[in-house]
């Protein structure tokens, strides 16, 4: 069965989405990710979408939901690698991803997570 791999890097989990999301694979990702957070005690999640040429409202909702699930397990999510065309589409279509932080690339996402953890009291 097709599933999106979750890579552990220290206390951050990295999810690279390359395949077209559909219901089953999205549910599988949420299941895998929440289990992995529980198992590893990860404090951050980086979701990379640099391979996606298109983000529609379905994928937007999946990402927002996944981020909310991680949050209740005390792991902050950063969405990275968004293509310029995707950013344009998101705004033009009015697709909102409430509570999802974004960064340009994985490196900045990881930096944002470390900074966030260093300044927990501010949040």
CB of 109 to its own copies, least distance (A): 10
Our finding on whether 25 is near its own copies (CB under 8 A) is: no
Our finding on whether 8 is near its own copies (CB under 8 A) is: yes
Phi, psi of 82 (to 5 degrees): -65, 130
Q: Which of residues 70-89 bind its own copies (CB under 8 A)?
A: 81
Q: What is the DSSP string of 8-43?
A: EETTEEEEE--SPP-HHHHHHHHHHHHHHHHHHT--
Our finding on whether 16 is near its own copies (CB under 8 A) is: yes
Our finding on whether 11 is near its own copies (CB under 8 A) is: no
The single residue among 27, 38, 41, 51 that binds its own copies, judged by CB under 8 A, is 51
Both tokens of 29, joined, read 């990702």
Select 12 or 90, whichever has its Cβ closest to its own copies: 12
* Residue from 80, 78, 79, 67 nearest 117 by CA: 78
């Amino acid at each position: 069965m097709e599933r999106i791999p979750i890579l552990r890097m220290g206390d951050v989990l990295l999810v690279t989405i390359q395949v077209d999301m559909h219901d089953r694979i999205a549910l599988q990702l949420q299941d895998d990710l929440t289990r992995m957070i529980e198992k590893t005690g990860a404090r951050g999640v980086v979701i990379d979408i640099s391979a996606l040429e298109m983000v529609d409202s379905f994928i937007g909702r999946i990402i927002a939901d996944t981020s909310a699930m991680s949050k209740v397990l005390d792991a902050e999510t950063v969405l990275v690698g968004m293509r310029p065309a995707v950013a344009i589409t998101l705004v033009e279509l009015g697709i909102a991803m409430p509570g999802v932080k974004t960064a340009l690339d994985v490196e900045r996402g990881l930096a944002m997570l470390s900074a966030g953890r260093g300044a927990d009291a501010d949040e």
